Amino acid sequence: MNREAFVSLVFALKTGMAALQPMLNALAAEVEENEEAAVMRSLRDRSNAFDLSDERFRRYFRLSKDAARYLCNAIRETFRRQRSHALSVEIQVLAALRFFAVGSYQRAVGQERFISMSQPAISRAVRKVSKAITEKLGSEWVKFPINEEQRNTIKRRFRQTRQMKGVVGCMDCTHIAIIRPKQNEEAYLNHKGYHSLNVLAVCSHDLEFLAVVSRYPGSVHDSFIWRHSTIRDRMIENWDAGDHSSWLLGDSGFPLEPWLMTPIVNAEEGTPEARYTEAHCRTRNCIERAFGVLKNTFRCLLQHRTLHYNPAHAACIVLACCILHNIRIRFNIQDTPIHGDIAGDEGNVEAAEQPAVEQGDRLPEGVRIRNLLVRGFRN
């Protein structure tokens, strides 16, 4: 073989190998992925989270075993059409619960002993489980009082535990940090300089969420969310139907209305107005505590954890965690201590930091109702 033929042969071999290299790399990656999947299946087969002690299970997944089984059965129908060799409902639910609980990177969650799933599988499980929880359980577990009997029950409990009459719920907003969105990024940049959802919620005396609105960007004012909420529509309907003795409590970031009582800013110390405001703040503190318990339990909602999902999926996760919070209350799971004022630390928007609140045309009626309440604090 002459030199030119030899050089041509070498060049052809090199060119062929270069063309084959991407295929070889893809094949090697597929083999590695299959080997990792086999190892994870083996780990899952040898580890059953339900074999943990009750206390360890609660600390790990934030639900009791009974509550976790209830959750799996409640949303099982959603998973009926999945592939025959897909992960079990229980594994996917536990993976999502673990992510909600710790809020760390999905790959780290997947590598934990009782999960053993790849990062893409964790991501799919979080999406699917949170969507199933909100769609299947939302209307059952987050209920605003719709009739007089329900409202009277809540008012009685607020009066017994908080010494303030007429209260059917306490309301506030809190920010949930999300990754910078690809669209309308500026709308999600809140007044504290990070991207978030501004979540409005109403809770009862025992910190149970009665209503949650999680879809609004972080730059939206609390009062705007309130004005466009179905919660307000329901309160107006009740008022127009003759219920003039039921109201929500909100801070001064909301407008004063006959069905929404706000504090009296700069009330002179020792006056009935000041005593009303003190009672108002003590009572309304339950919504701040509810946010604190929620974020301390489901730490994916903490500001420094940041939800790495688009706004729609992040809003779904927030609502799912609120539903799980209520499930914990009903199942009497009260074992998570609160370390510090997480709700305040995380960014409940103080009224002083927001633009002036636009008072509506029902302000005179609101003032009249609030003055009636102030009279009860004259002694």
Give yes or no for a contact between 174 and 347, defined as CB atoms under 8 angstroms apart: yes
Give the number of other Cβ atoms within 10 Å of residue 287's Cβ.
27
Give yes or no for a contact between 263 and 280, defined as CB atoms under 8 angstroms apart: yes
Residue type, 354: Q
- CA distances to 12, 14, 129, 355 from 17, rounded to whole Å, are 9, 5, 45, 65
Strand, helix or coil for residue 8: helix
Rounded Cα–Cα distance for residues 207 and 138 (Å): 17
Largest CA distance in the chain: 114
Residue-wise DSSP of 151-187: HHHHHHHHHHHH--TTEEEEEEEEEEEBPPPSSSGGG
Q: What element of type H or E holds 177?
A: strand 167-177
Give yes or no for a contact between 322 and 207, defined as CB atoms under 8 angstroms apart: no
Strand, helix or coil for residue 172: strand
| Mean pLDDT, contiguous 10-residue spans, the chain (379 residues) | 58 58 52 43 60 91 96 91 72 94 67 73 92 97 94 94 91 97 96 96 97 97 96 96 96 96 93 95 96 96 93 98 98 66 44 62 93 90
Sheet holding 196-203, edge to edge: 209-217, 196-203, 167-177, 247-249, 260-261
Give the number of other Cβ atoms within 10 Å of residue 83's Cβ.
6
Rounded Cα–Cα distance for residues 185 and 22 (Å): 36
Rounded Cα–Cα distance for residues 267 and 263 (Å): 9
Rounded Cα–Cα distance for residues 260 and 369 (Å): 10
